[in-house]
Chain A
């Protein structure tokens, strides 16, 4: 885990040299071939996948809870969250532990992604709003789009992603889809 963290720091430094200005750093990760990013200040740590304790009667994207140094932390499968095909967890599969602000204060939640990718400095001015015409499960968590090295990076809103009323929101979305 410490290796991963130092890798993270190294990445952060590499990205940090790239440019200055009104830029924010984003940690990006891969999910089914797409690159997603989250505000790096929200990332607490990155750890390898280990089995989680399943919580009965929760949506399938709640993979369970893990022991994070004494704290009980839920882990969400992002593929399941976005309604993508599930794959077996491989060697690059990691849990990104995020700090989110919910209605009851700060919460710590892990998300499972295919692999960690990069840390980018992205200028606030270069962010693009996502088109209104997206209606997939995952699209409502999208905060903005950015282009880095001619690739599209999808920036996610961490608070929305792990909000506990997300289930209700899902239901609304389903009704709309039907």
Chain B
């Protein structure tokens, strides 16, 4: 698209909104079946309509045209002219996908996939072209008293209003609407509201010209009219409120339900539906009724005003202009519900950095408190305590800006499970819990793909076919559960299924076959389960496009480890599996334990620390004179001497007696030998990579209270034995090459 840069900026917002709109459509469509209420389909319709309108505004004609087809189908569904069928829903879902693709193509300036668009357009056209069949089917499903498609709408409207209707709502409303003169300047369009009212029931509109001044005194942009409206039909007060929601509160608006005498032609609830049905049937026919209203006083009042309005109303097809009014307040409501603002991540990052600074200042002040006159001390301490509290609050609230509910990641699963289970011929119920659990935006973005892998795996390998499930006495539909919750300072995400569980014998056989495990090696249950995380492992007998290429689980684990998280699997054969992902709340701040290694200070994440033990040299035993082990109760854990690993001068004495910090990651433990434990404090994680490069064994750096930089130890990296070995070899290599460099110099 050849938009100028300024327009492109605005278009970007449109693309964002479209994505949201498509999400709304998709989730609505997934919930859409014959029993769905009117509101669901209205929501879908509004989303489609906004996309169409936006696309047309920006000149994306193809998108607008395609959406128009989708919208037409939706409109007929919501009018009840067409029954909601699974086939129709499926086509609409495909329409969503196609629109998504079109949006992406438009945004990136690629060519559109014309074949796909046409195919779908044809399909939609076919559905639209077959009214009789569908309408008849719909009518058949209705009570015999109502007939014809128009009755569906009545029934739907009636059903929605049913609860409040019985007592408070008669068979209609008398509405007196006296707008403020500035009504039109405030961009309110009474005809649209009337058109919307006409959709709810039979509407009669009478304009009150009493307030129209003499021609010379008329301000062409003011509204001098008042209206008396009569709306017959089962309409709830809330439906009316919604329509008049946008009108300025200064307007005088009175609603009066019809008294018994008015309701005479329509006494009991169900029959009037039948009576009113034919009257309401031509919805389009009812709409012209309000249209002449502003035109009626034309000869008397403000010709300019009418002239300006008339062309707007007249050429627009009624069917389109009416929903426009419906879409506008709905969109406003939806965005208010989301209650969120779009903030550039950069800005938020900057804010987080600033707060990080504040934390540093505060801990710096804390250090000063150690050397102050005794009489000032108490006051200083109080002040510091307050500063600490304020800083912590501020930090927390700023961190919240980055936090997003996990529903952003979960939302795509209903669709994915829907499509995939269809494809695989399985029946699956998806249950999502804890969608409101919040986690850092970065973590959220990076966890989405691993989650998709896990869900696909559960569907493909875990949950059995309906026949097989029935054969083993399980319910026909499998249950897939995605749960998110807090535990300690972590977020836990669990993917649970009640499928077949992991087949240990098969996994082991496969692993031996692939040479991942030594043929004679005996493995425990957990170890076997963990084999599925090995690179190049897949037990699927047949490679499908769903899974089975063996590039799933190892990537999943690596991604999660990169986020500072861990993944665990527990499984019972025949009963299902649980995959448990543990993630840090945020990547920006961690609770750190400062440790002294020789003359240097390092930071270890408190989350990784299991315990700390005083050790003597004779408690360490060696294997092959090199690898040292420490006996911790029932197990031997490897010991990493940090001063050796990090080549720290003056760390010698640590070998004699030091502290062993036992850390855990991925279910494995190692002891880190350090000289001393220092303070515990929250530290702001700074990347080493940004200005330097990644250093193995280090997760980053932070700035301490005294302004110096301390390095943060990468516990999972150290624990990964291979990398630990590599580290040692690397250290030796580095030392050698350095000596050579010095010699060469």
Contacts and interface: CB of A to CB of B under 8 A. Distances in A.
A74 B686 CA distance: 12
Contacts of A71: 686, 690-691
A58 B695 contact: yes
Interface residues of A, number: 32
Nearest to A58: B695
Contacts of B360: 70
Interface string B702-745: 01000111110000000000000001001100100110111011
Contacts of A177: 744
Contacts of A66: 709
Interface in A37-88: 51-60, 62, 64-67, 70-74, 83-84
A34 interface: no
Contacts of A104: 689
A170 interface: yes
A174 B742 CA distance: 11
Nearest to B694: A164
B686 A72 contact: yes
A72 B741 contact: no
A171 interface: yes
Given A53-B711, A65-B709, A72-B703, A59 B698 contact: no
Interface string A100-120: 000010011100000000000
Interface string A152-178: 000000000000100000110010010
B600 A57 contact: no
Interface in B562-614: 600
A137 interface: yes
B195 interface: no
Nearest to A100: B691
Given A70-B357, A72-B691, A59 B745 contact: no
Contact of B745 (A53, A56, A84): A84
Contacts of B689: 104
**Interface magnitude class on chain B:** 35 or more
Contacts of B408: none
Contact of B696 (A53, A54, A57, A171): A57
Contacts of A171: 737
Contacts of B698: 55-56
Interface string B619-660: 000000000000000000000000001111000000000000
A177 to B, nearest CB: 6
B703 A67 contact: yes
B691 A108 contact: yes
Interface in B675-704: 686-693, 695-698, 701, 703
B353 interface: yes
A104 B738 CA distance: 26
B709 A56 contact: no
B356 interface: yes
B688 A65 contact: yes
Given A60-B741, A67-B707, A72 B646 contact: no
A119 to B, nearest CB: 25
A73 B647 contact: no
A2 B206 CA distance: 78
B426 to A, nearest CB: 44
A65 B601 CA distance: 13
B504 to A, nearest CB: 40
A107 B646 contact: no
B507 to A, nearest CB: 37
B692 to A, nearest CB: 4
B709 A67 contact: yes
A57 B711 contact: no
B684 to A, nearest CB: 8
Contacts of A67: 703, 707-709
Given A60-B738, A65-B701, A109 B691 contact: yes
Nearest to A61: B741
Q: Which of A53, A108, A137, A170 has the most CB of B within 10 A?
A: A53
B703 A56 contact: no
A19 B740 CA distance: 46
Given A56-B646, A56-B648, A164 B740 contact: no
Nearest to B356: A70
Contacts of A55: 688, 692, 695, 698, 711
Interface string A131-156: 00000010000000000000000000
Contacts of A137: 741, 744-745
Q: Which of A53, A58, A72, A174 has the most CB of B within 10 A?
A: A72
Nearest to A60: B738
A174 B741 contact: yes
A139 to B, nearest CB: 13
Contact of A174 (B691, B703, B740): B740
B693 A164 contact: yes
Interface of B: 353, 356-357, 360, 600, 645-648, 686-693, 695-698, 701, 703, 707-711, 727, 730-731, 734, 737-738, 740-742, 744-745
10 contacts: A53-B711, A56-B711, A57-B647, A60-B742, A70-B703, A72-B709, A83-B741, A137-B745, A164-B693, A174-B741
**Interface pairs A-B: 9 shortest CB-CB:** A83-B745, A56-B646, A74-B692, A53-B709, A164-B693, A72-B686, A72-B701, A107-B691, A67-B703
Interface of A: 51-60, 62, 64-67, 70-74, 83-84, 104, 107-109, 137, 164, 170-171, 174, 177
Given A57-B647, A70-B356, 8 more contacts: A55-B692, A65-B688, A67-B703, A67-B707, A71-B691, A72-B687, A72-B703, A174-B741
